[in-house]
Amino acid sequence: MIQIIGSPISPYVKKVLTLLLMKGVDFEVDPITPFFGNDQFTELSPLRRIPVFIDGNFVLNDSTVIAEYIEECWPSPAALPGDPNLRAQARWLEEYSDSKIGDEFIWKSFAQIIVAPFAFKKEPDHAAFEANLEAGVADVMNYLEKQMPDEKFLVGEFGLADISIAAMFRNMHYVKWGPDEKRWPKTAAWLQRCEMQPALAKANEWSDALFTVKPPERRALAEKIGLKLTTETVMQREARRGPMTVIG
């Protein structure tokens, strides 16, 4: 049984879970927030980041590495196009999502407004957040609007590029922001199409439910909403920073 360490609230975890759901691969989840990982979590994830992918004694870190491994092991239905040019384009869009969108949507927005006060008792900087909406977030949206097709998905069929980027928007939804349909109409329409896809819809359903409770309560709730849980957890009750934590 495949095991995934990490909460579906994380867009990086959600990317992996959506791929597994799409491909019909069974898995178990330890739905922890990385800041609450114990020493065993550090051994499994030296950067103290999620997701962690475990299959027996085989352990993988980094959502891109995990996604490519899943695609190679379970190639159908494909999450990447067969054409080399299109495949490279999809990989670029995933990288743009992981780095640029992750920086603006997750670290400068979601982490500052949600994670900082709940995990580290730090007052959120709402002025900085609002300023970033019209700076970094707007830059992302302007770029995405230029990439969006008039219909369907980013690179052929619904796949890794769409999943990676669409997952990021759910975290912005949690800070009460969504794309302006008049300002970025193609991106807003594309996002609606993505969120109607069954695998991503299910991952968002889990994420939405778990977001309503504090990290220590998420494991119990995860079981109630239908997630298969790992036998043991690597969670601890007190938050701690990791080597790549960038919350002020």
Confidence of residue 117 (pLDDT cuts 50, 70, 90): confident
pLDDT, averaged across the chain: 94
Question: How many percent of the chain have pLDDT more than 70?
Answer: 96
Confidence of residue 241 (pLDDT cuts 50, 70, 90): low
Cα gap 105→142, rounded to integer Å: 14
Cα gap 129→12, rounded to integer Å: 22
Do residues 8 and 207 touch, judged by C-beta distance below 8 A? yes
Confidence of residue 119 (pLDDT cuts 50, 70, 90): low
Of residues 117 and 18, which shows the higher confidence score?
18
Q: Where are the alpha helices (DSSP H) in 104-159?
A: 116-120, 126-133, 136-147
Give the chain's domains with CATH numbers: 84-198 (1.20.1050.10)
**Least trusted range by pLDDT, from 8-22, 55-69, 113-127:** 113-127
Confidence of residue 215 (pLDDT cuts 50, 70, 90): confident
Residue 18: Cβ within 10 Å count: 30
